[in-house]
Amino acid sequence: MLAVDPGFGRCGIAVVEKHGGREELLYSTCVETPSSAAFAERLAQVVRAYAKLIKKYAPDSIAMEKLYFSKNQKTAMQVAEVRGALLHAAAEAGVQTFEYSPTQVKSATAGYGAADKKQVARMLHALVKIEKDILHDDEYDAIAVGLTHLAYHPKEG
Give the active site residue among 23, 24, 41, 65: 65
Cα separations in angstroms, 76 against 8, 81, 87 = 11, 9, 16
138 counts as catalytic: yes
141 counts as catalytic: no
Q: Return d(Cα 14, Cα 71) in angstroms, integer.
A: 27
Residue type, 61: S
Give the active site residue among 5, 23, 139, 141: 5
Q: What angle do CA 95, 48, 64 make, to 5 degrees?
A: 45
Cα dihedral sign, 45-48-53-56: negative
Give the active site residue among 23, 138, 139, 141: 138
Catalytic residues: 5, 65, 138
